[in-house]
Amino acid sequence: MKHNLFKGKVAIVTGASSGIGRAICFELAAAGAHLCLAARRKEPLDKIADELFPAKSLVCPTDVSINHMAEELAQKTLKEFGRIDYLFNCAGVFSAGGFGGLRIEAITEMIDINLLGTIYCMHAVIPQMRKQGNGHIVNISSLGGKYPFPGSTGYSASKFAVAGLSSALRHELKPENIHLTVVYPSFVRSPILDAHLPEVQNSLFFHLTGNYKPQQIAVAIIKAVAKKKRELVAPSFTRLTVPLYGLFPGLVELVTGKLMGGWPSYEQAESPNHSEPENLRNDKDRVRE
């Protein structure tokens, strides 16, 4: 769906190489936006940039969990386009498994990328949005950031934090005409989920939501941003579960556990971690900023 609102505007999209981020890039390009594509490896970004042509796009290999790389991402975008109108924080990782079986490294990686990556990118672009007097930030949380799912303790921690951060920051930015939308998707058929299909595909919850495609949620996100919505819970039928959890948390946890088929147990080991199918550098070379 095309929206004149985005014509000629500049958008940074992290996690642009796959899943929701990639789908958003195509929606924005179709609406006439100029794009900065960010992910950890250059090759898939170059391929997407070619597919987006003739839309104007800039390829910026970026590990958002490294602060100075997020700062460089903003500066490169400004140098190329002269402004930053939108930031779509789509980069994310997911390691599933019982808490007793999760490596601490898997938990800290989810915090580093899902939470700190979101913080670093916002911190990098907000000064320019303030200077312009406008802007819009979109943060991807998760339905697991509204209420917990078994087997997602580290992930839920990072996504609950993104939700709380976004709600607090919205108060600060509103007087400066900078909007913030938080997205709470359920299962989406993207690489972040595909790595875990053997573990979750037998659950009823997956069959209710697992065929929700990145393109579908990208269209919903663009509509929500055009309307300056505070948040989007998708797919739509899951929205009722959020107020229900506020009223009857024990009941929702019981039903969710049943729908997930009791998977996983506390000690069940994690599944392979996967978000973008790439790494900019080896773990031993990563620097914490």
User: Quick one: the chain helix, strand, coil %, rounded to 5?
Assistant: 50, 15, 35
d(CA 60, CA 37): 6
Distances (CA, A) of 190 to 75, 135, 185: 29, 28, 12
Using CA atoms, how far residue 36 sits from 6, 57, 81, 133, 144, in Å, is 14, 6, 9, 20, 28
- The DSSP code for 160 is H
How does pLDDT run across 194-214, given as a tens digit for each residue?
A: 665 566 666 656 666 656 788
Tell me the whole-structure pTM to 2 decimals. Answer: 0.87
Q: What is the pLDDT of residues 85-104, one digit of tens each?
A: 999 999 999 887 778 888 99
The encoded tokens of residue 51 equal 């597919």
Q: What is the pLDDT of residue 52?
A: 96
Query: CA-to-CA distance for 92 and 239, rounded, in angstroms?
Result: 22
Q: For this structure, is 245 an active site residue?
A: no
Of the listed 86, 155, 212, 245, which one is catalytic?
155
- The pLDDT tens digits of the residues spanning 123-150 come to 999 999 999 999 999 999 998 899 877 7
Structural domains of the chain ordered from first start: 4-279 (3.40.50.720)
The tokens describing 197, both together, are 């299909």
